[in-house]
Amino acid sequence: MKKTYQRIAVKIGSNVLTTAEGLPNTDLMAQLVQQVSQLIHRHKVEVILISSGAVAAGRSLIQLNTKENTVTQRQLLASIGQVKLIQVYGELFKKHRQTCSQILVTKEDFRDRQHYLNMQNCFQGLLKYGIIPIVNENDVVSVTELMFTDNDELAGLVASMMDVDALFILTNVNGLYNGHPEEEHTELIRLVDKQKINLNEIISTKKSGFGRGGMLTKCKNAQKIADLGIAVHIANGHQENVLIDLYQKATSAEELPGTLFLPHPKRPSSIKKWVAHSEGYAKASLIVNEGAKQALLSDKVTSLLPVGLTEVQGSFQKGDIVKIKDAEGSDIGIGMTKYNDTVTRERIGQQGHHPVIHYDHIFLY
């Protein structure tokens, strides 16, 4: 029997929380809130909720001029709708004697290590007092490059930061299929082992209704979280009692709803997890020789030494995130540097120096 989940993150997508007309589905919200409350009160599970739906809630309150700039429309709807969304959640949870809180974040909030730790401390305090954090992207200020790919990326960052046992991703399909879900003979994939499945070959790039990310993005993000030792479930949020089933059947021999991405048996350190999600902030690249590549990818604990470098591309300061690439330009991993680019260039190929990137600060793909 598997270990019981004690802390979970639940991501509810916009395609679950909205109707076909793009308006909030309050009936379904009530069902999910009831299940979350049951997990907390009956099963003593700590729950973090990552919820879309602010733009849809705003759409239910105001009609904007169709000539309005698309980004401006999203900002206005999110600003108005977030108040409505958290109000609905607050009223629904109150019926179950449960207090919730609102946390709005941007991608930049995860970039600075100290800011990251401050945010983590806030989450820990809320959970300590039995309060459900309801997290959403701050769409009012998140535009273009500041945006998450979608709330799956945000959910992954939160799940990793808070060291949850499992991440439940609720969407409008039953899980990952070995072909397009609407095609005949297509089957649901219950378990994903990355050593046996090539996600690029089986996933349709067709996007779901109201979400920004397609299934390929969703699954690649799920695999990244699973590599950090967190079980990731993708399931249909419209399925009756889905959260309770995911929780109870994950600790039994019964067949799970949806698709489970098997977690890596070893969990990395807190700072390694932070590095793993910092790829978008990489300011430069370090090119390594074949010997360094093989050493890094072996089962042995290995830091990146100057002797293994062949080239430095770009500029960076000590403590910046950089990509690690092989001679062909393929990504090996990312890491946080111990030197700036000037010192690193001076030591390329040399022995007898401290690591450019310490093992504890490297995340390998």
Which amino acids are annotated as binding site for ATP, given as ranges? Answer: 11
CA–CA gap between residue 305 and residue 279 (Å, rounded): 21
Known binding site for substrate: residues? 52, 139, 151
The SS3 call for residue 28 is helix
What is the spatial distance between Cα 36 and Cα 98, in angstroms, rounded to a whole number? 10
Helices (H) and strands (E) in the chain, counts: 12, 15
Element (H, E) at 293: helix 290-297
Phi, psi of 283 (to 5 degrees): -100, -15
Per the annotation, binding residues are 11, 52, 139, 151
How do 321-325 and 284-288 pair as beta strands? Answer: parallel
Tell me the C-alpha distance between 131 and 74, whole Å: 29
How many Cβ atoms from other residues are within 10 Å of residue 222's Cβ? 27
Q: In whole angstroms, give the CA distance from residue 106 to residue 311.
A: 33
Q: How far apart are CA 341 and CA 357, in angstroms?
A: 12
Question: Could you tell me if 316 and 283 are in contact, meaning their C-beta atoms sit under 8 angstroms apart?
Answer: yes
Distances 339 to 199, 270, 355 between C-alpha atoms, Å: 36, 21, 9
Q: Which residue has the tokens 């429309």?
A: 73
The sign of the torsion formed by the CA atoms of 260, 262, 267, 273 equals: negative
For residues 198 and 52, what is the distance between their CA atoms, to the nearest angstrom? 29
